[in-house]
Amino acid sequence: AMGYDGVEFAGFYGHTAEEVKAMLDETGLCAISSHVPYDSFVADMFGTIAYHQTIGCKYIAVPFLGEEHRPGGPKFAEALRNIGIFGKLCKAGGIQLLYHNHDFEFITISGQFGIQFIYDAIPADILETEFDMCWVKYAGQDPAEFVKAYKGRCHVVHLKDYVGKKGGKQPYALIQADGKDDGTAADSSDIAFEFRPVGHGCQDFPPIIASCIECGAEIFIVEQDLSVGRPPLEAARMSREYLKSIDY
């Protein structure tokens, strides 16, 4: 009713694939993509793919890497191997694998960002980007410019807005295998910024969206990790209304 065409999942909360497919059919929404934690897909690659095939999901995203698997971590090479294997299996199953960034991939290693190592190590047809424009900006980059280096590889983009600056505790919650918060999300008293509906924070979205479209973006996903001061669905409505109102 708000004007969204589909949803991106982050956990299925115990529902079977058939139950999720029935919900999608009932609402008229499509399963655009799904965030599947690293440990979950490593534990059951074939089962993960089969579940998403049943719900008609076109994309699966690697949403987060723990410290030891991140760029510069002791198990980073292992993570690249597993992501590459899973990406090939996804491709064989008709699903495209994505990698969703935070800010920690923007550490510099041997003169380049860690995120560049990920996309250099795994071919574009196996792993595409899912740039989260909040974390790109939070890491100190211009989102509209940064995406240009990945033209043709960025078909799915996260639009997310915030106010404030970098500092304090990590501002993102860690989403676990079934969408559960592990308790590490900081509250507003000890972080340096606050999430906002799209168009109600510091981001300049018209040039970001225009640049992404020029680079091949086909799907824009509204994401807001926390809704402060209003119900989450009200924030979702505000984001969609803003996107309807702008030219790009």
Per-residue confidence (pLDDT) for residue 204, from 0 to 100: 97
Pairing of strands 161-168, 191-196: antiparallel
At residue 45, φ and ψ (nearest 5 deg) are -65, -45
Q: At 170, is the pLDDT very low, low, confident or very high (cuts 50, 70, 90)? A: low
Per-residue confidence (pLDDT) for residue 176, from 0 to 100: 45
Whether the per-residue pLDDT at 83 is higher than 70: the answer is yes
Whether the per-residue pLDDT at 186 is higher than 60: the answer is no
Q: Which two tokens stand for residue 80?
A: 């690249």
pLDDT, one tens digit per residue, over 9-21 is 999 999 999 999 9
What are the residue ranges of helices labelled H in 179-220?
Answer: 205-214
Which DSSP state fits 173?
A: P
Q: At 166, is the pLDDT very low, low, confident or very high (cuts 50, 70, 90)? A: confident
Q: At 248, is the pLDDT very low, low, confident or very high (cuts 50, 70, 90)? A: confident
Count CA within 13 A, CB hemisphere, residue 25: 9
Per-residue confidence (pLDDT) for residue 185, from 0 to 100: 43
Q: Which of 120-129, 150-159, 209-218, 224-233 has the lowest mean pLDDT?
A: 224-233
Query: For residues 37 and 25, what is the distance between their CA atoms, to the nearest angstrom?
Result: 25
Q: Which residues contact 193 (CB under 8 A, 6 or more apart)?
A: 138, 162, 163, 164, 165, 166, 171
pLDDT, one tens digit per residue, over 100-157 is 999 999 999 999 999 999 999 999 999 999 999 999 999 999 999 999 999 999 999 9
Query: For residues 95 and 92, what is the distance between their CA atoms, to the nearest angstrom?
Result: 7
Q: What is the mean pLDDT of the chain?
A: 91
Q: At 180, is the pLDDT very low, low, confident or very high (cuts 50, 70, 90)? A: very low
Whether the per-residue pLDDT at 44 is higher than 90: the answer is yes
What is the pTM (predicted TM-score) of this model? Answer: 0.91
Q: At 193, is the pLDDT very low, low, confident or very high (cuts 50, 70, 90)? A: confident
CA-based nearest residue to 80, from 135, 133, 123, 131: 123
